[in-house]
Amino acid sequence: MKLLEERILKDGHVLGENILKVDSFLTHQVDANLMREIGKAFATYFKTTGITKVVTIEASGIAPAIYTAEALEVPMVFAKKSKNITMTEGILTAEVYSFTKQVTSTISIAGKFLNRQDKVLIIDDFLANGKAAKGLIEIIEQSGASVEAIGIVIEKSFQEGRKLLEEDKRKVVSLTRIQKFENRKIVFMEADA
Ligand code: 5GP
């Protein structure tokens, strides 16, 4: 997605070996206009696939996921990262190691929001080693729902997430794919949508 690549080049900052900071438009301050375009791009790709729900993980997945859900005219559900006393029954959980926080946490979704008729599109802001996506797949499949694909805003293709997901026969659709960071410069490769 050209618009997104341009924005990443303009406002993204490479931190260390493998982290991209995009807090001015995606992970902290959010550019709603750009998110709407991201939502439309995913919706155009998936419009004929019969998606019934978009699922993401809090917090940074929520913005692209809600606009994708809006464009596909389906509900969005986000997995929570901390226990909530109002979630009392039928909780589906999975363990996820966070790439940026370097801790393992239990993520959860109330079972009543997913059922075996659901065809789910997972959306997340980044794909690094695939742990967040794997945790979401685990939760979604516990409910009997099926995962149609994983839609990613920024894939760091030099990390192993896509490879692991594809080995597991999962479809990954990324709007941007970063091949490498070269002297703190971002080098893109051809994206999926
Ligand atoms: P994974 O689970 O694929 O290893 O990592 C994906 C998750 O880690 C995403 O949900 C995202 O929040 C976070 N993440 C991974 N890489 C980056 C990065 O380079 N920059 C930022 N801001 N977040 C990242």
Output the CA 170–ligand 1 centroid distance in Å: 19
> Which pLDDT does position 164 carry in this prediction?
98
> Which pLDDT does position 89 carry in this prediction?
75
Output the CA 97–ligand 1 centroid distance in Å: 10
Looking at ligand 1, which residue's alpha carbon is closest to its atom 10? Answer: 126
Tell which atom from ligand 1 comes closest to the C-alpha of 132. 2
- Ligand 1 near 174 CB (within 6 A): no
- Over residues 46-98, the pLDDT tens digits come to 999 999 999 999 999 999 999 999 999 999 999 999 867 676 779 999 999 99
- Ligand 1 near 155 CB (within 6 A): no
> Which pLDDT does position 86 carry in this prediction?
73
- Ligand 1 near 99 CB (within 6 A): yes
Scan for tokens 């080098």, then name that residue. Answer: 187
- Ligand 1 near 64 CB (within 6 A): no
Residues 175 and 41: beta-carbon distance below 8 Å: yes
CA distance 62 to 4: 17
Classify residue 130 as left (phi > 0), alpha (psi -120 to 50) or beta: left
- Give pLDDT < 70 ranges for the chain: 83, 85, 87
- Ligand 1 near 69 CB (within 6 A): no
Tell which atom from ligand 1 comes closest to the C-alpha of 134. 2
Scan for tokens 């692209």, then name that residue. Answer: 64
Tell which atom from ligand 1 comes closest to the C-alpha of 20. 19
- Ligand 1 near 79 CB (within 6 A): no
Tell which atom from ligand 1 comes closest to the C-alpha of 161. 3
Please tell me whether the overall predicted TM-score, pTM, comes out greater than 0.95 for this model. yes
Residue 10 CB partners (closer than 8 Å, separation 6+) = none
CA distance 77 to 72: 14
